[in-house]
Structure 1
């Protein structure tokens, strides 16, 4: 893999689209959630792309893998916040299901990148 920037990573691209959609939908949450759920869901979705980018900038494969694992954790946190938003009536089950499909797509690509990094770290295994 010969990339010039983390912005070329498919997992980062997909996480970016998810982040943008979450930012947009959270604008419709009640104002009382401004410092609660809105802040949390935006932070966690931003953490996904930020950790992928930071990992890419690390010199060692193992460090990159660790940041990608943190990105994966933030993706799960974002999913939990979306479930909370649905439970609170800020979005429908149908919208939640659409986000879950997108989260699953990001997760699959991110796991694929992690597996690639593991193999690159230990090419003889």
Structure 2
């Protein structure tokens, strides 16, 4: 199946869902008033979907692979930030574990697409 827009990609859709959850989390106390952590969380979350979209729009397989790598890196960055925030009591363990699992699954899906694109014949 040919994908005509990044909005059709399940990984982009999932990244948007995670971004919405991060915005919701960041709007709650205590993160609401922790501007530095809030901005970093939102920045990492947004970066995942934005890198998928940007890479897709280059219409170049190698560029897309590169930007998928950035998106995967941003997912890891977000997981790391959440791990720290749970340790300092800014994010609940339950929220952290749920988001962590979603991010691990998304990272695997991004990696699978990278592998597919690397092995795809023109």
Give me the TM-score of the superposition, normalised by structure 1: 0.90
RMSD: 1.4
Q: Which residue of 2 aligns with 1:19?
A: 19
Deviations 1:28-81 (A, max 9, x none): 1434412x0000010010000000000101132111100000011111111111
Q: Does 1:39 align with 2:31?
A: no
What are the residue-to-residue correspondences of 1:106-121 with 2, within 5 Å?
Answer: 106-120=106-120
Larger deviation, residues 23-32 vs 99-108: 23-32
Q: What SS class does the counterpart of residue 4 from structure 1 fall into?
A: coil
Unpaired runs of at least 5, structure 1: none
Quick one: distance in 2 between partners of 1:82 and 1:44? 11
**Separation of aligned partners in 2, 1:23 and 1:32:** 13
CA–CA separation in structure 2 for the residues paired with 1:57 and 1:32: 36
- SS of the counterpart of 1:2? coil
Q: Post-superposition shift, 1:100?
A: 1.0
What is the rounded CA distance, in whole Å, between the counterparts of 1:43 and 1:29 in structure 2? Answer: 18
Task: Please give the TM-score of this superposition, normalised by the length of structure 2.
Answer: 0.92
In the alignment, which residue of structure 1 is the partner of 2:88? 88
